[in-house]
Amino acid sequence: MTYIAIIGDIISSKKIEQRPEVQKKLQRILEEINTYYASVITSPFTITTGDEFQALLLPNSIVFKIIDTISMQFQPYQIRFGIGLGSILTDINPQQSIGADGPAYWQARSAINYIHDKNDYGINHLAVSLDDSNMTEYINAVLSACEFIKSKWTTSQYEILEGLLKEGIYEEKFSHKNMAQLLGLSPSSFNKRLKSSGLKIYLRNKKLASDLLLKAFEKKKGEVKNDQS
């Protein structure tokens, strides 16, 4: 069976003051994620060291929503995320993501290494790694564009995505009026802030990246089926 493996790595963790408190904050966030998104989580988000955590998910269309939710809640600290797609060779622990191993995690680790090697001057914190090198390149190009857009946001622009996530929204079509009210803004002020953020392009590209990842999964599933027949 093919899974999505996620490895998260806190950026510059050794420079963080009050690291125990920050690690507790991360633990609380991951526990909430594990509960809220339990339907797509096979092995829950688990802190494996003081600086890293990982999880194993069923292939799904909300993986980038999950990652952005973690990132938003963990501010002002930053995390790099590596996503891998593949099988697991060991037993899977449904209680914690420790001990499992296989191509899915190897690919996620490869994605983390990719970010270390090519982080676009510290802007890029998200990458995937797949068996299909062309698809990997396509998805990472889309994700890099998203990361560039996000790197230009002000605090007030971040608040728009944070507000959308709190409402369970992760797509470019949403009620401007409702979000303006949620953020305590006039419609004109909200639209001005939204337009300058490029958020709709960001969400459109995240949808594209998700679609491409699922396409890669379907291709891999077909290859496995053919090998078994």
Q: What are phi and psi of 52, to 5 degrees?
A: -130, 155
Q: CA-based angle 79:85:86, to the nearest 5?
A: 135
Q: What is the pLDDT of residue 49?
A: 84
User: Cα torsion for 19, 24, 30, 31, to the nearest 10°?
Assistant: 170
Each residue's pLDDT, cut to its tens digit, for the chain (229 residues) gives: 999 999 999 998 888 888 889 999 999 999 999 999 999 999 999 999 878 999 999 999 999 999 999 999 999 999 999 999 999 999 999 999 998 999 999 999 999 999 988 877 788 999 999 999 999 999 999 999 999 999 999 999 999 999 999 999 999 999 999 999 999 999 999 999 999 999 999 999 999 999 999 999 998 777 766 666 5
The residues spanned by each domain of the chain are 3-228
Q: What is the pLDDT of residue 110?
A: 97
CATH topology of domain 3-228: Alpha-Beta Plaits (3.30.70)
pTM: 0.94
Of 110, 43, 117, the residue nearest 83 (C-alpha):
110
93 three-class SS: coil
128 three-class SS: strand
142 three-class SS: helix
According to DSSP, residue 4 is labeled E
